[in-house]
Structure 1
C-alpha cells in the first residue's frame, strides 16, 4: 500500500437508525454495536442522564429523550426527528415494559396495564405510522419490531406483556403484507430471555444483551424478515411439532 494513500472510510452498512428503549439493556447494546459498525444512531429513551452517558461513548450516537407512553406526542416527535435527521432509514422498536406478576396481584392496576400496552404495542404502531411517509420516500428503509418468544405462548406472570408481544408480532406480519413491493422492509426480531434490568433476579441461562444486539444486527444485514435470536431459534420448530412443550417451557420463563 502506498504510505501516502489515505484510506477511505467504509460506508455504513445501514442508514441512520432510531433505537427506542436505548437507555439500558438491549437498546443500549444495539446503539453501541450499530455505532461501532459506522451506523449513526438516534437513541430514544426516557432517562436523559443514561442517554447522555451512552452518547458520550460514541460520536455517532445522538441522545433523544422521549417518553413513548405519551402517544399523543408521537406525531410531533416523528416530525422533529425527520427534520433534524433526513437521512433516517431504519426504525428499531425495542422499548418495552414487563410487569412480572399475576393479574390479581395487589397493587397492579389499570394504569399499569395502560402503560404496558401503550409502550409495548400502541407506541410502535403509532411511531411507525408517523414515520412511514418518510421511510417510503427512501430508496431502502426498514422497520424492525422486537418481539419475544412469549408472542407464541404466554408466561404465567406476564399476561399483558405476552399479549402485547403477540399483538406486535401480528402487526409486523400485517405491515409486511401492506408494504410488499415497496422500499420498506419489515422485520420481526424474536428475543429469548435476555439479561437486562427488566429481567433482573429471575430466569436462568439468559443471553447477554450484547450478544442479542449483535445477532439482531447480523440478521438484519443478512436480509432476514424473521430473526430468531438465541434460544428463540427453537420456537418455530417447537410451535409446529410440540406446541404443548413450548407452552410449558414459557409459562415459567
Structure 2
C-alpha cells in the first residue's frame, strides 16, 4: 500500500474484515500486529504469514489497554498505523428480554471505549513518527440508525465524531485520522442477516486501496452512495436502513 507508515496494528484480526486486513497487508509486505480473542485463528494467521505477529487481547478489559499499548510501542518501534476494526453488534431491540446491561456494556466498550483508550495510549508514539495513521472502521449506522441495533448505531456514531474531533486536534501533525464507512459486510457478526453483502476480502481490499488516496473518509462498497442520499433523500435512506 503506497504511503503506508510502518507496522500496522489491527484489532479484531481473528475474523471478518480484521482478518482480511491482516492477511492482505502482510501479503503486500506490511508488518502486522494482529489482535483478537480467538487464539487458534491468530496462531493460524501467524503461521501462514511470517510478517504477522499476533497477540490475544480482550478489548473489554479496557483498564489493561494502556499498559499493553506501552509494551507494543516499546516492542515495535516501527508501529505507525492503528486500525480499529474489532466490533460487536447484538441484532436486537433495546427492550429484548435477553439483552441486558452486560450486553450494552460490552458493545460500548469494544466498539467505542477501547478505540478511544488505545488511541490515547498510543498517541505519543504515533506523534513521534514522521507519518502515522489512525483508522476507524465505521458503519452506515453511524449516520442512519436501525431499530434492531440502537447501541451499535450509537457507538459507531460516537466513533465517527471521535475521529472528527481527533482529526481537528492533530492538524499540523504527522498523524492522519481516517474513517472507513462500511455497508453490510459478510462476516460472522452479520451471519443470517441481509442480502448482497460485501465480501470481507473485498471490503479489506477497498480499505487498503483507500488509505493510499489520503482521503479522511472512505465510503466502502455501496456506502459510496451515502453522501448523495444524505443530501438528496435522507428519508428514503432511513426507510431503507430499517429493512434489515
Q: Encode CA deviations 1:156-188: one digit per residue, 9 max, x unaligned.
A: 100100000000000000000000110100000
Matched, 1:142 2:133: yes
Give, in whole Å, the separation in 2 of the partners of 1:249 and 1:184.
Answer: 36
Shift in Å, 1:47: 1.1
The answer (yes or no) to whether the contact 2:135–2:180 under 8 Å persists in 1 is yes
Q: Which of 66, 70, 81 matches 1:90?
A: 81
Shift in Å, 1:155: 1.3
Matched, 1:23 2:2: no
- Show the counterpart of 1:118: 109
- Runs (5+) with no aligned partner, structure 1: 1-9
Matched, 1:223 2:232: no
Q: Encode CA deviations 1:6-47: one digit per residue, 9 max, x unaligned.
A: xxxx99844100000000000000000000110000000111
- How many residue pairs get aligned? The number is 244
Q: TM-score with structure 2 length normalisation?
A: 0.98
Match of 1:91, SS state, is: strand
Name which of structure 1's ranges 13-22 and 95-104 shifts more when overlaid on structure 2: 13-22
- Show the counterpart of 1:201: 192
- Runs (5+) with no aligned partner, structure 2: none
- Show the counterpart of 2:98: 107
Give, in whole Å, the separation in 1 of the partners of 2:156 and 2:222.
Answer: 17
Q: Encode CA deviations 1:92-135: one digit per residue, 9 max, x unaligned.
A: 00000000001111111000000000000000000000000000
Matched, 1:250 2:241: yes
Name which of structure 1's ranges 13-22 and 166-175 shifts more when overlaid on structure 2: 13-22
- Show the counterpart of 1:238: 229
Match of 1:181, SS state, is: coil
Match of 2:147, SS state, is: coil
**Between Structure 1 and Structure 2, whose CA radius of gyration is higher?**
1
- Show the counterpart of 2:154: 163
Shift in Å, 1:244: 0.5
Give, in whole Å, the separation in 2 of the partners of 1:234 and 1:240.
Answer: 10
The answer (yes or no) to whether the contact 1:12–1:38 under 8 Å persists in 2 is no
The answer (yes or no) to whether the contact 1:78–1:127 under 8 Å persists in 2 is yes
- Show the counterpart of 1:191: 182
